[in-house]
Amino acid sequence: MKLLYSPFSPFARKVRIAALETGLQDRIEVVPTSTEDPASGLSARNPLNKIPVLETEFGPLYDSPVICEYLDTLHDGPKLFPAWPERLAALRRLALGDGMLDIALAWLGERFRPAERQSASHMALWESKIRCCVDALEQEAAALQADRFSIGHIAIGNALSYLDFRYADLHWREGHPKLAAWHAAFDARPSVAANPPVDDR
Amino acid sequence: MKLLYSPFSPFARKVRIAALETGLQDRIEVVPTSTEDPASGLSARNPLNKIPVLETEFGPLYDSPVICEYLDTLHDGPKLFPAWPERLAALRRLALGDGMLDIALAWLGERFRPAERQSASHMALWESKIRCCVDALEQEAAALQADRFSIGHIAIGNALSYLDFRYADLHWREGHPKLAAWHAAFDARPSVAANPPVDDR
């Protein structure tokens, strides 16, 4: 299978971590793909023109949660998408981690605008939402630690890594010692350490 | 179960359609909830401060795809989330429909900014993405018609309804007769007709 991806995309990073966790990395050929190059053929595969896209025997597949769920059907190891009711927390955490990334990316896009087109109120709202999420995750850190590793853990850990990468000035670990300890263990997993965030600037 | 929702949210509309399709509407109490009222308690249930949220015996559940998948476990009728491999197209279409909504909402937020803070290049990009999605869906209309009704159909139909509602000037039906015919049938479903888009302006 071909994975259209960018080394700069945190959503693609989640898929690559999932591929290693499920032992499927050798069945996946990664194809660096730009969302800004019309010749990439990306929009013909995903009309949203987003990466990652996985080319499967059933056609192109997106977005990253769907790719991860599909990969999870292709192996016999511990499942990243558990059965109900454990599935509920895993999917909710997946939505939370990906939702944090959506906010962080919107915020980043705002920062990249010319100063006169930026909206201070939007940026303040996004910062407050990210801080609210980190506060909530500190309350959930013990459960994250106790629960079996799932796609929810990958999404939460990946989102926090992205904060380190793009928003180090938030100092999200301050006041959140349990979450910081959980994330340190996440970062040490071989699947995570093998896929560090990459800077495109 | 309580569903924290807004009549103006297209994501909440998707859940309400799914509730009717699965026959669960009488087990769900809808609670109008503002994302802008700190007293609503929304952010304590979903730190992303987004609706919809479903209060379940397992705690608050989000986002809308997760709520729909959970509801789908609570009934014995035809499943909105089918088994593999049919599940693949259903989930991909769910991602496509929700992705269109994400773009449409970002675009709407841009339109609501003061004129001097708007970005013409962002709005042009969002419009081109929406048009690319509608073109792709015209190619897929026959398959949408042929495949068993799923959460993917709800998401696609709901996204197109939102274009009618907020972006009537796009005239998305022009040049897309198969998709228009499919959407007319979607709109006539009792679950959809019972939940028309609502204007908050």
Domains by residue range for chain A, with CATH: 2-72 (3.40.30.10), 86-193 (1.20.1050.10)
Average pLDDT, stretch B133-145? 98
Question: What are the strands of the beta sheet with A2-5, ordered from one edge?
Answer: A29-32, A2-5, A53-56, A59-61
**What is the pLDDT at residue A20?**
97
Please state the ipTM of this predicted complex.
0.96
Q: Taking Cα atoms as reference points, which of A78, A48, A84 lies closest to residue A66?
A: A48
At which residue do the structure tokens 């991602």 appear? B95
Q: Give the Cα separation of B174 and B167 in Å (integer).
A: 13
pLDDT digits (tens, 9 = 90+) for B17-76: 999 999 999 999 999 999 999 899 999 999 999 999 999 999 999 999 999 999 999 999
> For residue B201, what pLDDT is reported?
55
How many C-alpha atoms does A72 have within 13 Å on its Cβ side?
A: 18
Q: Rounded to whole angstroms, how far apart are CA atoms B131 and A44?
A: 13
Q: How far apart are CA A115 and CA A163, in angstroms?
A: 22
- pLDDT less than 50: residues of chain A: none
A56 with B88: Cβ contact below 8 A: yes
Looking at beta carbons, which residues of chain B come within 8 Å of A100? Answer: 48
Q: What is the mean pLDDT of chain B?
A: 95
- Mutation choice for B interface testing from A68, A110, A117, A125 by most B CBs within 10 A: A117
Which pLDDT score is estimated for A197?
84
Please report the pLDDT score of residue B200 as a whole number.
64
Report the C-alpha gap between B196 and B188 in whole angstroms: 11
Structure tokens at B108: 């709407």
A119 in contact with B, Cβ within 8 Å = yes
B166, pLDDT greater than 60: yes
| Chain A residues with CB-CB distance to B102 below 8 A | 102
Q: What is the pTM of this model?
A: 0.97
Residue A201 has a pLDDT of 55
- The pLDDT value recorded for residue B1 is 95
Estimate the share of chain A in helix, then strand, then coil, as percent rounded to the nearest 5: 60, 5, 30
Let me know how long chain A is: 201
pLDDT for the residue numbered A159? 98
Nearest to A158 by CA among A72, A77, A99: A99
- Interface contact B85, partner A, CB < 8 A: yes
Both structure tokens of A42: 């990306």
